[in-house]
Amino acid sequence: MRVAPTVVWYRQDLRLQDHPALTAAAGAGPVVPVYIWAPQDEGDWAPGAASRWWLHHSLQALGQSLAAAGAPLVWRVGDPLTELRQVAAAVGATRVVYTRRYEPAAREQGRRVASGLAAAGLSVATYPGSLLHEPEAVANRSGDPYTVFTPFWRACGNLPVPAAPVAAPALQAAATAVEGCRLEELGLLPRVAWTDGLARTWEPGEAGAARRLARLATVLQRYDAHRDRPDLEGTSRLSPHLHFGEISPRQVYHLALAADATPDRQRFLAELGWREFAYHLLYHYPHTAAAPLRREFEQFPWQPDPEALQRWQGGQTGYPLLDAALRQLWQTGWMHNRLRMLVASFLVKDLLQPWQVGARWFWDTLVDADLACNTLGWQWAAGCGADAAPYFRIFNPLLQARKFDPAGDFVRAFLPELAQLGPADIQAPWQLDAAVLAAAGVTLGATYPAPLVDHAAARARALAAFAALPR
């Protein structure tokens, strides 16, 4: 007797290796992998333009891998419950499996789909795979979620070590093929071709993720020294691959564990910990994607200023390191994490713009846009989140620039209009003599802007605004 196939509903787990749901399905018989484009289910957080570009190429890669493995991927657009029921009926499947997601809208989607499938007489099983630890698995002594990173990560260390990753399973196709659509019909690619910079920088898909992962041992050797240096390739750059599930955190974790037990390794593992912490927080405090965790910040006297926001978005603040960072984001869909902290601090504190508008800009422009990580990052920068930077921690863009881009190489790479300035000059063109500027072909206010705000004055203004908050 022929075994009925299992439908594998792909979501943010676009891989074959270390995929518990796929492995379980393949162990039981034929599999029918399905991806359904359903932005209407993402609440206010449908994937932004850069994420959609990535998703298109990642789905293309996944489709090729699954086809080569013998179980072609079916792409569809619509309501996941409707599509899954239809696919299951068409292939004679009685079972649907998928990897859990943890964002509020995704959990709601999962609940709705699972109960709808069950009501239709299908069996449903969900699997982990996108986190090292399930958000419910970590709680403090009184059973509450953690709101401070260090004890959270220590508690994770007391849990069983995440299991070693498993290889891609052998796949068997269903006897009956089922209709899908063409990838292009998902409409993920922009109409205007602006994605060249993304394509030059990234290789979406599981193979590209594996190539990045292969660099990890090298990165770890100098992680402590280079991780904060945007002018060096000091970080793993795995974030978009992790976001789309092209690799699992278990794979990264176990590969890092295979390296020497150094402070560098511990520091890198803690970065995985911050990702876990972000999911833990969004899971337990689902309102925080839109509203501050610390409610007193709802009264904060932001001063919305569309023009200032636009200059920040366009990388025209007049602070070279910030502008280089914002243009790196626009051109490559990614920004170094230290620079994310700096531009966020500047937008929220120097410019007094609400953190939500910065979070939204990142959401649209980052290829690694991840609701949990983005929310944590912005609330941290604004001082209104869990374990956040205290309100008085205001980065000085010039000091940070001298410290972390000492030769100005990063600025030079993204601000061609300042490229002729030397290491001592390039971070602060507003301080230079006219002759030095002229020699480098720079005209402040014309070829490059004067500072949008004076940092010292802006800092004082921010401190005053925060001090006036009722606490």
Q: What is the Cβ-side half-sphere exposure of residue 153, based on CA atoms within 13 angstroms?
A: 17
**What does the block give as tokens for 193?**
């071709």
Name the residue nearer to DNA (CB basis): 14 or 131. Answer: 131
Residues that bind DNA (CB under 7 A): 149, 228, 271, 274, 337-338, 341, 389-390, 392-396, 399-400, 403, 455-456, 459, 463, 467
Minimum CB separation of residue 271 from DNA in Å reads 6
Contacts of residue 214, defined as CB under 8 A and 6 or more positions apart, other chains included, come to none
Name the residue nearer to DNA (CB basis): 34 or 347. Answer: 347
Minimum CB separation of residue 251 from DNA in Å reads 21
CB 126 within 8 Å of CB 99: yes
Residue 108 phi/psi, 5° resolution?
A: -60, -45
Pairwise CA distance, residues 354 & 378, whole Å: 10
Name the residue nearer to DNA (CB basis): 63 or 377. Answer: 377
Handedness of CA 289, 293, 299, 302 (dihedral sign): negative
Minimum CB separation of residue 160 from DNA in Å reads 24
Name the residue nearer to DNA (CB basis): 205 or 273. Answer: 273
Minimum CB separation of residue 458 from DNA in Å reads 11
Minimum CB separation of residue 218 from DNA in Å reads 21
Name the residue nearer to DNA (CB basis): 284 or 402. Answer: 402
CB 188 within 8 Å of CB 52: yes
**What does the block give as tokens for 327?**
């243009």
Residues that are catalytic: 271, 274, 302, 337, 355, 378
Amino acid, single-letter form, for residue 241: H
Amino acid, single-letter form, for residue 431: Q
Residue matched to tokens 């179980």: 71
Of 341, 349, 347, 360, the closest CA to residue 289 belongs to: 360
CB 407 within 8 Å of CB 389: no
Minimum CB separation of residue 277 from DNA in Å reads 8
Pairwise CA distance, residues 370 & 366, whole Å: 9
Name the residue nearer to DNA (CB basis): 21 or 428. Answer: 428
Pairwise CA distance, residues 49 & 188, whole Å: 8
CB 132 within 8 Å of CB 253: yes
Name the residue nearer to DNA (CB basis): 89 or 464. Answer: 464
Pairwise CA distance, residues 318 & 230, whole Å: 19
What is the b/e burial string over 415-450, where b = at least 16 CB atoms within 10 angstroms of the residue's CB? bebbeebeeebbbbbbebeeeebeebebeeeeebbe
Contacts of residue 338, defined as CB under 8 A and 6 or more positions apart, other chains included, come to 228, 230, 400, 404
Minimum CB separation of residue 455 from DNA in Å reads 7
